[in-house]
Chain A
């Protein structure tokens, strides 16, 4: 069993829909990263959070350290949000990623 589990593995949405991607982990952590990988491979850091909630534009990340769970939300999704979203613990354990496709 992976120490970092993401769900769903694949997600298809219509433009404008509200998206939620979940990340659960079985190890104690001090912080968690959310990363975005576009087709073509580049990886960009979206958030690093250790408690509560962070917001950047249409992206919102939340974390509950005690429950070992984090979520990434995308409001008003757009086709340019199509990418693989990856969560990673502060000690570099990665989830397998969630492939998001947003259709116009």
Chain B
């Protein structure tokens, strides 16, 4: 069965370190998204991609970057982790922008000490 997977599921890191969260989907979806979920804020869009070599900033992109070198993967990188980036991160994909069902990964809980 097609799926979307995130890794690692849990990570603890220190302030200033670079962290990369992986997202891999096997649906061959063009659209991929990264969100963070925090108490009191709900889900907020960090970055998104419409396809290979395309990346776009979302609502809360500062301190994060993504790259899309193939259809299956959209890794999220925190160049210099900050305590404010402690959160649960979700990756999602969809076949069509705006009208397609969203498929979510299981989430990655990141703690920055």
Contacts and interface: CB of A to CB of B under 8 A. Distances in A.
A55 B77 CA distance: 39
B64 to A, nearest CB: 15
A52 interface: no
B113 interface: no
B41 A42 contact: no
A76 interface: no
Interface residues on A, range: 20 to 34
Contacts of A44: 104
Contact of B58 (A42, A92, A96): A92
A31 B99 contact: yes
Given A45-B104, A94-B43, 12 more contacts: A31-B99, A41-B88, A43-B90, A44-B104, A48-B100, A48-B101, A48-B102, A50-B99, A86-B43, A88-B102, A90-B99, A96-B41
30 contacts: A30-B98, A30-B99, A31-B99, A35-B104, A41-B88, A42-B107, A43-B104, A44-B104, A45-B101, A45-B102, A48-B99, A48-B100, A48-B101, A50-B99, A86-B43, A88-B43, A88-B102, A90-B97, A90-B98, A91-B98, A92-B33, A92-B58, A94-B35, A94-B42, A94-B43, A94-B44, A95-B42, A96-B40, A96-B42, A97-B42
